[in-house]
Amino acid sequence: MPLRLLFVDDDPDIRTIVELALGLDPTIALRVAASPSEALSALATMQPDAALLDVSMPDMDGPALLAALHDRSPGLPVIFMTAHGRERDIAALRALGACGVIVKPFDPLSLSAQIRALLSG
């Protein structure tokens, strides 16, 4: 049973990279959303095992999306991706209920391993 992962990022380049990177791992079934609203509507058709969210997005940012996701699916493991890698930024995101933070730039070849490590940790 592959890991069903919901990935939300407004940056199409990053979406492509993550799709390609995670596409290398057959144990991950990726659902990509280009915006938080698309992500929320995707919940109607799928029940993800985890979510990978960009932090800075227009309309609704990562933390707000996390709250919305948790409203509908309490306890959903969420990993944030951010360029702001300061310890206090990471701590703040973790305090919101994220189980992990991946700091950009990340290594696409070890991304799936990183995600699995964060989810199991």
Binding site for another protein (CB under 8 A): 11, 13-14, 17-18, 20-21, 23-24, 83-88, 104-109
In the bound state with another protein, the residue whose beta carbon lies nearer, of 13 and 71, is 13
Residue type (1 letter), 106: F
CB of 71 to another protein, least distance (A): 28
Q: How many whole angstroms separate alpha carbon 9 and alpha carbon 33?
A: 7
The string of DSSP codes covering 45-79 is: T---SEEEEES--SSS-HHHHHHHHHHHSTT--EE
CB of 107 to another protein, least distance (A): 6
Question: Residue written as tokens 């990978």?
Answer: 52
Q: How many whole angstroms separate alpha carbon 19 and alpha carbon 22?
A: 5
In the bound state with another protein, the residue whose beta carbon lies nearer, of 11 and 61, is 11
CB of 10 to another protein, least distance (A): 11
In the bound state with another protein, the residue whose beta carbon lies nearer, of 43 and 82, is 82
In the bound state with another protein, the residue whose beta carbon lies nearer, of 2 and 108, is 108
Phi-psi region of 59 (alpha: psi -120 to 50; beta: other; left: phi over 0): left
CB of 115 to another protein, least distance (A): 14
